[in-house]
Amino acid sequence: MSDPLPCPSVVSDAELIASLREQLDAQAVTIAEQAASLAHSEKIFNRSSAAARIGVWECTLADESLVWTDVVYDLFDQERGTPLDRAVTLKCYPEESLRALHEARSKAIEERSGFSLETKIVTPKGNRRWIRITATVESIDGVAVRIFGMKQDITEEKLLADRNRYLAEYDVMTGLANRSRFQSKLSELVTATMATKPFGALLLIDLDEFKSVNDSCGHAAGDECLREAAQRIGSVCVGAELVARIGGDEFAVMLGAGLSFGEILETAAAIVAEMNRPVLFRGRLLQLGASVGVALVDDCTPSQLFVMADAALYAAKDAGRGTYRLHRPGSGQRAPRPFAVA
């Protein structure tokens, strides 16, 4: 006879329940760990988004319903978690910005692509911001169903860019255009005036006693004289194309076409008269004065125009200062300085 088969072990209900409980507990621990990891990742994402001022948004195209993260709520000065109405949010965009947004969005939906756009908004609280919008269109079976992306506050970035641009083109001391901007604009003046005629002019101005004031009264007095000179020249030349500080105590005024010959000379005389008035600095009256050289735009290049105005300026200085002179071809006036147009 063969040996009897071994009897299978019998698992009790209690043991089965205990085993299932262990499995469920292990799964619960895994789920809890995953949830904790997800919550931690979400916290990092939210903190990173807030630090970078980047928010995520989504719009379902069928009903135009919106979903925003907290940063986008903050960008638009909306209370977090409140219901969103796209028609209301669009009111935050000025007309020009709204038109650009509509065009970019429509094209992206039509082509089932995306877009990136920098635009302005004005929030319900009156805050003006620049935002960068990036978007991607999601489609199903060739039909656009959703558009989503990010919105970032780039206001500080824009302000920094504007400041850098300002520093590159304007004189910090006086607020006038600097030499670089003057050089680039001079070509525009000459081109425009040559096309329209009959007149346009360049006035070069040099402060007569600036070095003496600087040496005897200090740089603070000199700085005040420069600021006052800029203000006075600007007040006389309100309609000028450009008023610039092109050197230490040198200024330039670009007059466009439309002024008569007499009006151009009257402007030069008015600058001289304004600068003959003393400058008040800390209870002291400082006497400056100015010499002005005038050159008319007449079939010349920007460099030639500068040379002519500079020659007229030196003629005014040779005449005793505190006056103006008009460049006269063939008069023997000379310009000792070269000039390069940017």
| DSSP string over 49-77 | HHHHTEEEEEEETTTTEEEE-HHHHHHTT
Whether the CB-CB separation of 284 and 238 falls below 8 Å is answered with: no
User: Looking at the DSSP assignment, which residues form a beta bridge with residue 65?
Assistant: 60
Structure tokens given for 194: 């040559």
Is the peptide bond preceding residue 198 cis, with omega within 30 degrees of 0?
Answer: yes
Rounded to whole angstroms, what are the CA distances from 333 to 33, 264, 282, 313, 316? Answer: 88, 20, 40, 9, 10
Question: Cα 134 vs. chain centroid, distance in angstroms?
Answer: 20
Structure tokens given for 74: 């903050």
Name residues whose C-beta falls within 8 Å of residue 334's C-beta, 6 or more positions apart in sequence.
Answer: 311, 314
Give the separation between CA 152 and CA 289, rounded to whole angstroms. Answer: 53
Question: Which residue in this structure is represented by tokens 């329940």?
Answer: 17
At residue 219, what are phi and psi to the nearest 5 degrees? -70, -30
- Kind of pairing, strands 128-140 and 201-207? unpaired
Q: Which of 249, 298, 299, 310 is catalytic?
A: 249
Structure-derived torsion over alpha carbons of residues 22, 28, 31, 32, reported in degrees to the nearest 10: -130
Helices and strands of the chain, counted as H and E runs: 10, 12
Name residues whose C-beta falls within 8 Å of residue 164's C-beta, 6 or more positions apart in sequence.
Answer: none
Note if 299 is an active site residue: no
Which active-site residues does the annotation give?
249
